[in-house]
């Protein structure tokens, strides 16, 4: 009986030690911010960095590959928890760096690089920034490539989120997707988003002589709603009226 108890205790201690190792390894990765030795597939690496951030770096991958870094964030509040949330970095095309932020005091778990698709063959047309009211740029929020991501105004910064192609097919494209009137709506204040290019009327934009951008399906124009000047204001459609918040400067 005594021998049986000793064997059981030894087994329990060994199991506890085995469970503790991954936790210790994770804590070390989080606190030191050092990248793991083995790179992920596709010439990419992801690791926890200081300040509650996850960093993804890709080198030598296809220039058309779209990817981002993501991680789970864990924290406690007054001894309760753990609470969890997913943090996702900006989408990058080809080589580059993406950063996902959990925040100070939060533990970064399982950082990884996620491939989300590839940029389709380019559509002919001029490329560059689209500027509008008070000189702000049309911007894909957070440089994310998921369907439904808001199209907004933001300070011009030369990022991939602001590199638009004015397609000869009538589309406006960024990160391999199209500017889209949500749900194909036609009402005033229907928001504008990013979506897979599908040839629908919701993705057609026609430059007008007065500088506005008409969506023929709705008969309404791209509008910086409310004459907003704050970064992050989502664009929508509104009755074409020639106002300053409907004037857009396209690349040539």
Q: Where are the domains of the chain?
A: 31-118, 127-246
Are 136 and 162 within 8 A, CB to CB? no
pLDDT score of 51: 86
Tens digit of pLDDT for each residue in 149-169? 999 999 999 999 999 999 999
Are 141 and 151 within 8 A, CB to CB? yes
For the whole model, what pTM was predicted? 0.61
pLDDT score of 36: 35
- Distance separating alpha carbons of residues 113 and 84, to the nearest angstrom: 19
Q: Quickly state the pLDDT bin for 178 (edges 50, 70, 90).
A: very high
pLDDT score of 64: 82
- Distance separating alpha carbons of residues 242 and 240, to the nearest angstrom: 6
Tokens representing 240 are 């074409």
Tens digit of pLDDT for each residue in 99-125? 999 998 899 999 999 998 887 776 889
CATH code of domain 127-246: 2.80.10.50
- Distance separating alpha carbons of residues 150 and 161, to the nearest angstrom: 11
pLDDT score of 119: 76
Higher pLDDT, 113 or 198: 113
3-state helix, strand, coil in the chain (%, to 5): 20, 40, 40
């Amino acid at each position: 009986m005594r021998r049986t108890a000793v064997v059981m205790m030894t087994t329990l201690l060994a199991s506890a030690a085995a469970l503790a190792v991954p936790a210790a390894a994770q804590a070390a990765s989080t606190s030191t911010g050092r990248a793991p030795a083995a790179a992920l597939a596709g010439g990419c690496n992801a690791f926890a960095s200081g300040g509650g951030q996850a960093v993804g770096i890709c080198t030598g991958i296809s220039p058309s590959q779209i990817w981002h870094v993501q991680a789970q964030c864990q924290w406690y509040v007054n001894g309760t928890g753990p609470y969890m949330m997913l943090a996702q970095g900006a989408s990058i095309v080809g080589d580059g760096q993406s950063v996902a932020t959990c925040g100070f005091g939060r533990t970064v778990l399982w950082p990884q690089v996620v491939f989300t698709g590839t940029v389709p063959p380019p559509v002919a047309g001029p490329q560059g920034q689209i500027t509008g009211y008070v000189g702000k740029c049309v911007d894909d929020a957070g440089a994310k490539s998921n369907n439904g991501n808001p199209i907004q105004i933001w300070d011009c910064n030369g990022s991939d989120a602001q590199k638009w192609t004015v397609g000869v097919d009538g589309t406006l494209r960024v990160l391999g997707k199209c500017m889209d009137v949500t749900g194909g709506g036609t009402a005033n204040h229907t928001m504008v988003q990013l979506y897979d290019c599908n040839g629908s009327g919701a993705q057609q934009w026609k430059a007008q002589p007065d500088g506005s951008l008409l969506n023929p399906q709705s008969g309404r124009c791209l509008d910086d709603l409310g004459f907003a000047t704050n970064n992050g204001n989502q664009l929508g459609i509104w009755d074409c009226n020639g106002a300053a918040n409907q004037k857009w400067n396209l690349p040539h």
